[in-house]
């Protein structure tokens, strides 16, 4: 007992004399907090990483029929014309953080390959997502449609610097600055047919969505003739986005790209 008391006294004396402290238990390393990386066009969420962000995005990296593509080798053939039957729809526009999108009410359709598809929305990318023999256009519009079976068809329209576009200006004048807040503009309606060129001959292939989850089986019709927008309109869109919102082109692989004669 005396020996034990002596040891305790000695320990206390050492602490006082030399500032020694009894050994402490190492502090536990705080658990790492995993944060979800949201997909986008820059940094960790950039297109090269989309396939690994979520299991449901796997096709973004493993899919063999992905979009966009570089349209280089084509096979000219007789293709049905794009039968656009678009109606006026109240202007509902949103900056979803990835693109400027106009949501459409039911009633507008397009006929492709004798299939009728309803227009859901159209949105914009800068620069273009598809390229033609390696060359980009200033912007590209995608009109997204769905048929009764749930199949998707997208009509792509290139946009190049030129004269100001009146319909685009109406859209840009009502751009919401706040992300994910839809701006429903009373008294203004738009008709997507005004954003199609007179010559709607097109390139046709089957690909995917150009954003996650990159679902395949999408019927693509990329119109060959671009529409014009002014340099100021292009810059206004780029300034709002603050980054290029185009996915890089993906391999064509074993697909065939058809071209209207």
Task: Tell me the catalytic residues.
Answer: 98, 123, 125, 129, 142, 210
Residues 105 and 118 sit within 8 Å (Cβ to Cβ)? no
Conformation bin of residue 150: beta by default, left when phi > 0, alpha when psi is -120 to 50: left
Nearest-angstrom CA–CA distance, 152 and 219: 6
Nearest-angstrom CA–CA distance, 22 and 128: 67
* Residue 192: other Cβ atoms inside 10 A: 23
Residues 113 and 205 sit within 8 Å (Cβ to Cβ)? no
**Cα separation of the two ends of the chain:** 105
Residues 126 and 244 sit within 8 Å (Cβ to Cβ)? yes
Collapse the DSSP code of 153 into the 3-class scheme (helix H, G, I; strand E, B; otherwise coil) and give the result.
strand
Residue appearing with tokens 């030399």: 18
Strands 139-146 and 75-77 come out as: unpaired
DSSP string for 163-177: SPPHHHHHHHHT--S
């Amino acid at each position: 007992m005396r020996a034990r008391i002596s040891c305790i006294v000695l320990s206390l004396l050492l602490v006082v004399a030399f500032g020694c402290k009894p050994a402490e238990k190492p502090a536990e390393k705080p658990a790492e907090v995993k944060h979800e990386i949201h997909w986008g066009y820059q940094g960790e969420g950039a297109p090269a990483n989309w396939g690994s962000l979520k299991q449901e995005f796997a096709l973004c990296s493993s899919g063999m029929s992905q979009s966009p593509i570089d349209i280089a080798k084509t096979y000219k053939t007789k293709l049905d014309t794009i039968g656009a039957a678009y109606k006026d729809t109240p202007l509902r526009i949103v900056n979803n953080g990835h693109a400027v999108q106009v949501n459409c009410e039911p009633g507008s359709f397009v006929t492709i390959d004798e299939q009728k598809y309803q227009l859901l929305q159209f949105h914009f990318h800068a620069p273009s997502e598809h390229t033609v023999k390696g060359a980009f256009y200033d912007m590209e519009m995608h009109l997204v449609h769905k048929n009764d079976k749930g199949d998707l068809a997208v009509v792509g329209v290139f946009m190049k610097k030129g004269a100001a576009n009146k319909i685009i200006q109406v859209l840009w004048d009502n751009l919401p600055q706040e992300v994910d807040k839809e701006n429903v503009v009373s008294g203004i309606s738009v008709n997507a047919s005004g954003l199609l060129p007179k010559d709607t001959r097109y390139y046709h292939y089957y690909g995917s969505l150009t954003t996650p989850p990159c679902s395949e089986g999408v019927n693509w019709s990329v119109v060959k003739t671009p529409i014009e927008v002014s340099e100021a309109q292009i810059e206004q869109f780029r300034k709002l986005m603050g980054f290029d919102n185009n996915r890089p082109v993906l391999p064509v692989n074993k697909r065939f790209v058809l071209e209207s004669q």
